[in-house]
């Protein structure tokens, strides 16, 4: 069985990808410092605690497990925090990734799948957005991811280090069997925040911006099920293992939903209408972000299988189950 090193594999997208890797016949080796991940999410392979900035620890793990490739999810992701503390984001997301790449190269590993983001595009110039869209990030988070993409281009061009960069749109949903799901602290994503409001959480739900040039005045986002994202990572890995060239792909459904539509759908799924506070736009929020996913379909054979109904149903069941608060789910 081929081993794959999964940095950030105890986190949200990383853990769901480990599930899909195991189903595809790989052994995911999770490498995570547990700053945002949860050891209880490591269920499909061995766990190695460590930081991507720790070169010695990385060398130990590469030597022990001898992975055939790296899937890299470990990153700081909160856009607002990136504005407040850009130094942390560049140190972790850029310098830490360079450290990981160098450790992989020392170990003779030259295949790398990178968790990137549509935040590298910045303000949309057309909808839907394809991979040729100009990349002008609006914040340090997006710039840190773009820097890694550019770094990987140079490593491919000059060193033969092949990579796939996967630009996510809005990851959402949970494992349909309820084993893992979305669990951030603090939580900043719209769907879990709205679900918490429906469950009676304090403060209701804040809707940022009701005057966008969209069909109902609220922002449009492309919500993609986390298991569809996970499937794309497995296909990207197989592409590299089969000798495929370095590539960049958008991962989204190609269909946008407004925040107002999302609120109504969550109220229907939960059977619990909830308080919504309408406030002004947030700086840097685009009116609409929708993926053109034709390239991933053409090259990888990837197509999203789940729509908004499945996303919200799985997310509601995960968050309303109480699993997050159970002692068995606490970090070791």
46: tokens are 């061995």
Distance CA(53)–CA(58), nearest Å, equals 8
- 141, 168, 212, 306: which is the annotated catalytic residue? 141
Active site residue 212: no
Phi-psi region of 145 (alpha: psi -120 to 50; beta: other; left: phi over 0): alpha
Distance CA(223)–CA(263), nearest Å, equals 13
Distance CA(7)–CA(14), nearest Å, equals 8
294 class by beta-carbon count within 10 Å (0-12 exposed, 13-18 middle, 19+ buried): middle
Measured at the CA of 316, the angle between CA 310 and CA 318, to 5 degrees, comes to 100
Distance CA(235)–CA(232), nearest Å, equals 5
Catalytic residue annotation: 141
């Amino acid at each position: 069985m081929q081993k794959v090193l999964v940095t950030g594999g105890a986190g949200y997208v990383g853990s769901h990808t480990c599930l899909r890797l195991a189903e595809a016949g790989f052994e995911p080796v999770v490498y995570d410092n547990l700053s945002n991940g949860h050891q209880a999410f490591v269920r499909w392979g061995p766990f190695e605690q460590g930081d991507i900035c720790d070169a010695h620890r990385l060398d130990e793990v590469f030597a022990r497990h001898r992975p055939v490739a790296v899937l890299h999810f470990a990153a700081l992701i909160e856009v607002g925090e990136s504005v407040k503390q850009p130094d942390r984001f560049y140190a972790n997301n850029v310098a830490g990734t360079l450290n990981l790449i160098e450790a992989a190269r020392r170990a003779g590993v030259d295949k790398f799948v990178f968790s990137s983001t549509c935040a590298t595009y910045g303000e949309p110039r057309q909808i839907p957005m394809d991979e040729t869209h100009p990349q002008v990030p609006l914040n340090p988070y997006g710039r840190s991811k773009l820097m890694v993409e550019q770094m990987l281009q140079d490593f491919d061009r000059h060193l033969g280090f092949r990579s796939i960069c996967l630009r996510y749109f809005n990851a959402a949903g949970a494992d349909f069997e309820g084993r893992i799901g979305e669990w951030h602290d603090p939580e900043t994503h719209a769907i879990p925040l709205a679900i918490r409001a429906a469950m009676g959480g304090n403060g209701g739900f804040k809707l940022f911006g009701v005057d966008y040039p969209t069909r109902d005045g609220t922002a449009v986002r492309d919500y993609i099920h986390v298991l569809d994202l996970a499937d794309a990572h497995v296909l990207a890995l197989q592409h590299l293992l089969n000798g495929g060239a370095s590539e960049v792909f958008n991962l989204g459904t190609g269909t946008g939903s407004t925040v107002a539509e999302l609120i109504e759908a969550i109220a229907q799924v939960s059977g619990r209408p909830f308080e919504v506070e309408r406030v002004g736009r947030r700086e840097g929020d685009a009116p609409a972000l929708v993926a053109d996913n034709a390239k991933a379909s053409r090259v990888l054979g990837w197509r999203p299988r789940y729509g908004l109904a499945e996303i919200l149903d799985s997310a509601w069941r995960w968050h309303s189950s109480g699993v997050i608060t159970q002692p068995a789910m606490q970090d070791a």
